[in-house]
Amino acid sequence: MSVQRRVRLADVAARAGVSRTTASYVLNGTSAQMRISAETEQRVRSAVMELGYRRNRSALSLRTATTQTIGVISDFVATGHFASQMLRGASAAARAQDHLIVIGETEGDPAVEIQMIEEMLDRQVDGIIYTTLVTAEVRVPAQLRERRAVLLNCVDPVADLPAVLPDELAGGRSAADVLLAAGAGERVYVVGEEVNPHAIAGPQRVQGVEEALATAGTPLAGVVPCFWDVEPAYEAVTAWLATDVTPTALVCLNDRIAMGTYQALAAHGLQVPSDVSIISFDGSELAGWLRPALTSVRIPYAELGALAVQTLLDPTAPTTVLRSPMTLLHGGSVSSARGYQSSGRQPTRTGAGRALR
Amino acid sequence: MSVQRRVRLADVAARAGVSRTTASYVLNGTSAQMRISAETEQRVRSAVMELGYRRNRSALSLRTATTQTIGVISDFVATGHFASQMLRGASAAARAQDHLIVIGETEGDPAVEIQMIEEMLDRQVDGIIYTTLVTAEVRVPAQLRERRAVLLNCVDPVADLPAVLPDELAGGRSAADVLLAAGAGERVYVVGEEVNPHAIAGPQRVQGVEEALATAGTPLAGVVPCFWDVEPAYEAVTAWLATDVTPTALVCLNDRIAMGTYQALAAHGLQVPSDVSIISFDGSELAGWLRPALTSVRIPYAELGALAVQTLLDPTAPTTVLRSPMTLLHGGSVSSARGYQSSGRQPTRTGAGRALR
DNA sequence: CTGTTAGCGCCTTCAA
DNA sequence: TTGAAGGCGCTAACAG
């Protein structure tokens, strides 16, 4: 049993006592230019109301080769934060333009990816957003090359398609700036290391940090390499602390690394932020759950999603790379020694003993 | 500019030197029953290949009032874990049956909800999954009543629709069973309290816990009421610990509550699991990030999503409530005093000092 | 076995 | 202003 409607445009026309053509004109807003009398138009509109008429989009699509639907192809699976935020932004932007979003989770399988794109093209989507979990350089499937598509969180150097990305470089700089402003810019280390050669977030963040620190005359003290997750960060930082280093601040490349770092510091008897300041990237829910709350450079997922939709739906959009600014999510993980004030969430309950996590 | 194809069925037929009808039969797999020669069929298939033909779904939809598309209406926004896991399961199940999923995030706004459903019905979705973030009793919009729809994570006592839910009661029992098996069943408290009168997860979990404990002759020692989030749990447990209680184990109603509880226990100098065992519900990523890793009764989101899709697509499915089992995600947060063995992740690195978080 | 025909519901000339 | 007519691409009787 499929969901369908009964009322046809013909019924509306009959009820209004006009021709289908006239009814059609009214519905398309072409009534003015067709010089349809206001009275007639009103009759049609009443009929639409009374009958609860809605156009049949299948018929419309067949006729216009348009569906008011956009596809989102993504390679990520269980990545809660990214996926939902991005889809939320995209969904809202799509709704604002009367479009619906159809999703295609490829689970990273290129064959599935191609299949999903085909399915979407079959359904005449008006365009496709191609997005990846990891900010990286990619090669989009050939199917997308000649079509209306926008890359989200990735770029393809050979395909001539618009792309939407976070401004990682500026994000890196602002992370360092926060530390500098707090007077915690002397011995700054980065925790995390990018291993994917196509990834661009990590390198750009580090570059931004280095630039800002260099400008202040306090070069980056070093890097603690580790995979981007809680446990690897815990292990790496624990081992590193055993070498008797005395960091002023740590820049963690994402919030999960920061969590592992909190754990390692706590185990080593170091407190955040009094002993060590921490700042990271993501601005996920996790940042708010930690104690003290983590100061994090937020990835504007929702904005990216919305921007991608707007770009896709804008026929005049150039095929350039758009960089969306990363904003600061204030927590209490950066020392306020030199009067740096967190203006967002209150870094309450940061007292000794309780901060041990 | 919309994405569209060129090759029509007529082209394929022409290329194969047959009529459109014949080509159509081959494509629909009706060739056998129409007794089309294998040779002819082969010619058609070749033509399809050579021309890269794919049927135009808009045309198909207009003709068959079917779209091979299902809609998912959800009220949740930034809820990473739930949303993505559920969509992953639903997406995979849909793909297995050649369906695509179109999403409708209502952000909890009833007006948006109605609008989204209309948009979906306009697009002739074959059915709609109506899902809510909080497991609860709801009243679905009237539009859904008469249509092919399935409720996911909620029930509507008056609408005659199938519903898919986690088996919270059994989940509650198994949580208590884990504690009992570990010899930590003597002074068990529940942390968290449901305030939404329509919610069903909380009450059922507690009921399950109580039943299992009662069976073992060690009734629930009490409840520490708090909102279901990290900070409220931290506050509540901290205040509660100040009253000199000596819990054997805590059942946290979700993983975020458990995180806040970890924090409060650490601040109070109590260790998990040597001093207090902890078990919670959700089985989210967070459980694995905590130290020691949290033992949690997993909500089978992906399975629920898949089940909902299968139910929706099965014309013979009865309009009953399906309960999906909650499985145990093993961590190291439950004492193994009496030889209880966590069989999943290794609860490594649980040594003194490091467990303080 | 295969071709002919008639719509599915809607938009859009073209004439009137 | 409006009616008639064609056609988007495909399926499904109904004849051959």
CA A152 – CA A140 distance, rounded (Å): 11
CA B123 / C1′ D4 distance in Å:
29
Q: Which residue of B has its CA nearest to A113?
A: B95
Q: Is A268 part of the contact surface with chain B (CB cutoff 8 Å)?
A: no
Do A270 and A172 fall into the same domain? Answer: yes
Q: Please indicate whether, in this complex, the C-beta atoms of A2 and B65 are within 8 angstroms of each other.
A: yes
Whether residue B213 lies inside any domain: the answer is: yes
Read off the pLDDT of residues A132-156 as tens digits, 9 standing for 90 and up. Answer: 988 899 999 998 987 799 999 999 9
Whether residue A5 lies inside any domain: the answer is: no
Whether residue A342 lies inside any domain: the answer is: no
pTM for the complete prediction? 0.89
Instruction: Inform me whether the pLDDT recorded for A82 exceeds 80.
Output: yes
A47 compared with B178, residue with greater pLDDT: B178
> Which chain B residues touch A291 with a CB distance below 8 Å?
234, 263
Residues of chain B with pLDDT under 50: 1-5, 338-357
Q: What is residue A31's predicted lDDT score, i.e. its pLDDT?
A: 59
* Amino acid type, A111: A
Q: What is residue B32's predicted lDDT score, i.e. its pLDDT?
A: 58
Q: What is residue A354's predicted lDDT score, i.e. its pLDDT?
A: 31
Do B241 and B214 fall into the same domain? Answer: yes
Read off the pLDDT of residues A308-332 as tens digits, 9 standing for 90 and up. Answer: 999 999 989 999 999 999 999 999 9
Q: Is A315 part of the contact surface with chain B (CB cutoff 8 Å)?
A: yes
Do B95 and B174 fall into the same domain? Answer: no
Q: How many domains does chain B have?
A: 3
> Which of A1, A2, A3 to mutate to test binding with chain B, by most B CBs within 10 Å of its CB?
A3
> Who among B67, B127, B357 is closest to A356 (CB)?
B357
Q: What is residue B184's predicted lDDT score, i.e. its pLDDT?
A: 87
Residues of A (278-297) whose Cβ lies below 8 Å from B: 284-286, 288-289, 291
The mean predicted confidence, pLDDT, of chain A is: 88
Whether residue B341 lies inside any domain: the answer is: no
Residues of B (64-103) whose Cβ lies below 8 Å from A: 64-67, 69, 76-85, 87-88, 91-92, 95, 98, 100-103
Residues of B (128-157) whose Cβ lies below 8 Å from A: 128, 147-148
Q: What are phi and psi of A192, to 5 degrees?
A: 120, 155
- Residue A287 contacts residue A255 (beta carbons within 8 Å): yes
> Which chain A residues touch B95 with a CB distance below 8 Å?
112, 115-116
Do B73 and B112 fall into the same domain? Answer: yes
Q: Give, as ranges, the nucleotides of chain D with any atom within 7 Å of a protein CB.
A: 1-5, 7-14
Q: What is residue A195's predicted lDDT score, i.e. its pLDDT?
A: 84
Read off the pLDDT of residues A243-289 as tens digits, 9 standing for 90 and up. Answer: 999 999 999 999 999 999 999 999 999 999 999 999 999 999 999 99
Do B177 and B281 fall into the same domain? Answer: yes
> Which chain B residues touch A87 with a CB distance below 8 Å?
83, 103, 105
CA A118 / C1′ C4 distance in Å:
32
Read off the pLDDT of residues B288-336 as tens digits, 9 standing for 90 and up. Answer: 999 999 999 999 999 999 999 999 999 899 999 999 999 999 999 998 7
We report the CATH number of the domain holding residue A180 as: 3.40.50.2300
Do B139 and B254 fall into the same domain? Answer: no
Domain carrying residue A267: 168-299+325-329
Do A272 and A195 fall into the same domain? Answer: yes
Q: Please indicate whether, in this complex, the C-beta atoms of B57 and A122 are within 8 angstroms of each other.
A: yes
Do A32 and A124 fall into the same domain? Answer: no
CA A53 / C1′ D2 distance in Å:
22
Q: How confident is the model at residue A46 (pLDDT cuts 50, 70, 90)?
A: confident
CA B178 – CA B250 distance, rounded (Å): 12
In B34-75, DSSP assigns E strands to 69-74
Q: Please indicate whether, in this complex, the C-beta atoms of A55 and B122 are within 8 angstroms of each other.
A: yes
In this prediction, residues A212-229 reach a mean pLDDT of 96
Q: How confident is the model at residue A351 (pLDDT cuts 50, 70, 90)?
A: very low
Question: How far apart, in Å, are the Cα atoms of A348 and each of A52, A354, B108, B234, B256?
Answer: 55, 11, 31, 13, 19
% of chain A beyond a pLDDT of 90: 65
% of chain B beyond a pLDDT of 70: 90
Question: Using CA atoms in the order A67, A69, A75, A77, what is the torsion angle rounded to 10 degrees?
Answer: -130
CA A20 – CA A13 distance, rounded (Å): 5
Whether residue B310 lies inside any domain: the answer is: no
Within 13 Å of residue B78, how many CA atoms lie on the same side as its CB? 7
A22 touches strand D (CB under 7 A): yes
Do B258 and B285 fall into the same domain? Answer: yes
Do A98 and A139 fall into the same domain? Answer: yes
Do A189 and A292 fall into the same domain? Answer: yes
A26 compared with B29, residue with greater pLDDT: A26
